[in-house]
Amino acid sequence: MVSMDTTRMEALTGMLTVLGMFVLLVLPSAIGIVRDRRIDRQLREAEQENRRTEPAQAQKSSSKPTEPSTATWYAEGRRSKKLVSS
């Protein structure tokens, strides 16, 4: 009778150990999923709020002329040199 109680106790200890390790492995993923869903919900709510507050305003282009960025200027210069050299 005594050995049966020891075997059951060892089995319970082993099962609880495995369950505890499983929880430790799954917990960070579960927390991340909950956090992502909360952020997605907040983004959806903010987007809906923007749609409600600005329904009639269309996107207007700026009247101010824009300057090309340095990267664009450099890339255009490289393209023109390629055409000349070939």
Tens-digit pLDDT profile for residues 53-76: 876 555 566 666 666 666 666 666
- Model's pTM, two decimal places? 0.48
Residue spans of the domains in the chain: they are: 23-54
Q: Which residues contact 76 (CB under 8 A, 6 or more apart)?
A: 68
Question: Quick one: pLDDT band at residue 52, thresholds 50, 70, 90?
Answer: confident
What kind and span of H or E run contains 74? helix 70-85
Instruction: Name the 3-class secondary structure at 5.
Output: helix
